[in-house]
A and B are shown apart, each in its own frame.
Chain A
Amino acid sequence: MPYIPLEDHLPGITGLLEYSKDTAAPIRELTQTLLRGPSTLTEGERELIATIVSHRNQCTFCVTAHTAAADILLGEEETSTKVKQDISTAPVSDKMKALLTIASLAQESGKSVTPESVQKAKDAGATDIEIHDTVLIAALFCLYNRYVDGLSTVTPTDPAFYKGLGERLKNNGYNRLPEGYEHLKK
């Protein structure tokens, strides 16, 4: 049960973003820019960063939702599964390994991101903007994970819910749906 009254048909983050639309607007805009805006990182790679941070913050709703989005964008489920198990042996490029490591360090604390971890990413070809965006995506999911769990929002258990949500994140991104969310009422 959420700690504040949220609409029953909007579990997880969606109910919060509808509860407080004035704060939701810049949060949505930031997410859309970072995860769907122009970038040399693919949308799938950026969803993997969101996934690993949510996984480390133990936020089941966010991990499951962003795993679903990453799987749809990558066209397979192996990469997201292995990234959550062990970054160093996951089937991603050396650059992505270095960026996922930076994201994991930022999840602990900003100060945990060392010059060595950044140099490793640069040596593997990461640009300053890629490093910037990796840190900011990691930081943004530290916000989301705390918002979602800190107010005890509902975490659906039906895998079909997340498949639908993953499709919505692929097709619509992070902007508020122009028609709102009334149609999700059953």
Chain B
Amino acid sequence: MAHIKVEENIPGIRSLVLFRPETGKSLYDLAQVLLRGPSSLPEAERELIAAYVSYRNDCMFCMKSHAAAARCLYGAEEKLVDEVLNDMQQSNVSNKMKALLHIAGKVQILGKEVRLEDIIAARSLGADDKEIHDTVLIAASFSMFNRYVDGLASFTPTDATVYEEMGKRMVNGYLPPSSEQS
């Protein structure tokens, strides 16, 4: 049960956003611009960074929902998502993506963990300033979202099909739930 009185059976962040729409709108706007806004990183890769950080933060709701969105966006290459969540270094994503996921993993621990050599490595594999910026900010943002969702003990569905549906919906973007359509 959630730590505060939110509507029962509404999963994860949606229940929290319905509880406090004023902050919810900014949170959804941030997710939308970070994960769907203009960027040279494909949406699939951005969702994968979100899922990877959520996995490292042990936030099942965020991990399963963003992994589902990433699988939809990768399409025929959807197995990359599970490879990364299983063992990032052994996965078949590009070396550039590995370097960015490595940076995201450091950010998940603490900002100070990111070293100049990590940045140099990502650059040498073709990552530009904006991609490095976006990777750090996505990882930092999911360090927030994960704590919000689990810190208030919001409802985490266990049924895998719930996340499949959620992933399909998330592909179309992030719009805050309203009390009528929740």
Contacts and interface: CB of A to CB of B under 8 A. Distances in A.
Interface string B78-117: 0000000000000000000000000100110011111010
B145 A139 contact: yes
B58 A109 contact: yes
A112 B20 CA distance: 22
A149 B16 CA distance: 28
Given A5-B129, A111-B150, A135-B151, A143 B37 contact: no
Contacts of B59: 110
Chain B, interface residues (CB within 8 Å), range: 35 or more
B30 A23 contact: yes
Given A110-B57, A129-B20, A149-B111, A138 B147 contact: yes
Contacts of B9: none
Contacts of B20: 129, 132-133, 136
B136 interface: yes
A13 to B, nearest CB: 11
B5 interface: yes
Most B Cβ at <10 Å: residue of A29, A139, A149: A139
A30 B136 contact: no
Contacts of B136: 146-147, 150-151
Contacts of A150: 103, 106-107, 111, 113-114, 136, 139-140
A174 B36 CA distance: 25
Contacts of A152: 114, 116
Contacts of B130: 4
B106 to A, nearest CB: 7
A143 B111 CA distance: 9
B166 interface: no
A23 B37 CA distance: 9
A20 B34 CA distance: 11
B145 to A, nearest CB: 7
Contacts of A29: 25-26, 29
Nearest to B103: A150
Contact of A115 (B3, B34, B106): B3
Judged by DSSP, the binding face of A is: helix
A113 B3 contact: yes
A128 B26 contact: no
Interface residues of A, number: 51
A4 B133 contact: yes
Contacts of B145: 139
A146 B143 CA distance: 8
A27 B116 CA distance: 26
Interface string A92-109: 000000000010011101
Interface string A135-179: 110111011111111111000000000000000000000000000
Interface of B: 3-5, 16, 19-20, 22-23, 25-27, 29-30, 33-34, 37-38, 57-59, 103, 106-107, 110-114, 116, 119, 129-130, 132-133, 136-137, 139-141, 143-153
Given A110-B151, A113-B3, 6 more contacts: A26-B29, A110-B147, A112-B151, A113-B153, A146-B111, A148-B111
17 contacts: A16-B133, A25-B33, A30-B23, A33-B26, A106-B147, A110-B146, A110-B147, A115-B153, A128-B4, A131-B152, A132-B152, A136-B148, A142-B143, A143-B140, A145-B111, A150-B113, A150-B139
